[in-house]
Amino acid sequence: MSPINDIEIINRVIEGDKEAFSQIVQKYQNMVFKYVYYQFNNYDEALDITQDIFITVMEALQSFRQESKFSTWLYSIMVNHCKNYRKKMNRYSTVSLKVMKGEDEVDLQLQDYRENPEDKVVNEDSIRIIKEEISKLPEDFKDILTLRDIDGLSYNEISEILDINLSNVKVRIHRGREYLKNRLHARGLI
């Protein structure tokens, strides 16, 4: 579904066709759920939080000014909701973010190793270990690696969602990856 269709659906919802919002939910619920699930590593908790995120999105739909893609706006709500949830539960330390806008996205030219199906031969044990390690990541690494390396968002989108500048996005991605790579190496996974 194209972004234009998202906007069309949103306009319908705002005009009173609440049922149309089900299309938005069905389109994004897997992505939202997985992000939340990898943040908290708890299925039931992730279900509740995902539900809350969609309620928040629907109720805040009037405030969506259509200056960015709807998906970016939804991701922002999702990320903030998870941060607030963490604060509320006092389970993790909090992160302060600075406001700055970044540059344009760089064109893709190199082969994307992560999308190569042959490389994705992973067994259940590997999945379990990587999930454990993601859940143990410091919060700012966890956010950014989930958005970048699981959801596959661009640096610019991440910059907008997390409300941090592009260079900060890159630095955090590098550090997070190095941290995770060392953890996976220590567990003999790579």
Partner 1 sequence: MTLKHLKFEEISDLLDNELSDQEKEQCLSHITVCEVCGQEFDSLSKCLTLLSSLKNECIVIPDFSERTIMICRSREKKRLFLKAVPAIAASVIIIFGAGFIRTGLFNESGSYVAANLTGHNETQKIIETVSNSNGRIIQITQAYIDGEFDKNSVAAIKRVLQKNKIKHAFIVNSGMLVNPAAGRMEDVGFTLGSASVSLNNDENQNYASIESDKVRMRIFK
Q: Which residues bind partner 1 (CB under 8 A)?
A: 18-19, 21-23, 25-26, 29-30, 33-34, 37-38, 43, 47, 50-51, 54-55, 58-59, 106-110, 112-116, 119-120, 122, 126-127, 130-131, 134, 145, 149-152, 155, 170, 173-174, 177-178, 180-181, 184-185, 189-190
Query: Cβ of residue 101: shortest distance to partner 1, in angstroms?
Result: 18
Q: Which is nearer to partner 1, 89 or 127 (CB)?
A: 127
CB of 177 to partner 1, least distance (A): 5
CB of 132 to partner 1, least distance (A): 12
**Torsion angle of the four alpha carbons 58, 60, 66, 71, in this order, in degrees rounded to the nearest 10:** -50
- Cα–Cα distances in Å, from 184 out to 129, 146, 181, 189? 8, 16, 5, 5
Q: Which of 20/97 has CB closer to partner 1?
A: 20
**8 Å CB contact between 148 and 158:** yes
- If the CB atoms of residues 3 and 152 are measured against partner 1, the closer one turns out to be 152
Pick between residue 95 and residue 189 the one whose CB is nearest to partner 1. Answer: 189
State in angstroms the smallest separation of the CB of 128 from partner 1.
Answer: 11
Q: Are 79 and 161 in contact (CB under 8 A)?
A: yes
For the bound state, the minimum distance from the C-beta of residue 19 to partner 1, rounded and expressed in Å, comes to 7
Q: Which is nearer to partner 1, 94 or 174 (CB)?
A: 174
What's the closest the beta carbon of residue 103 comes to partner 1, in angstroms? 12
By C-beta, is 21 or 160 nearer to partner 1?
21
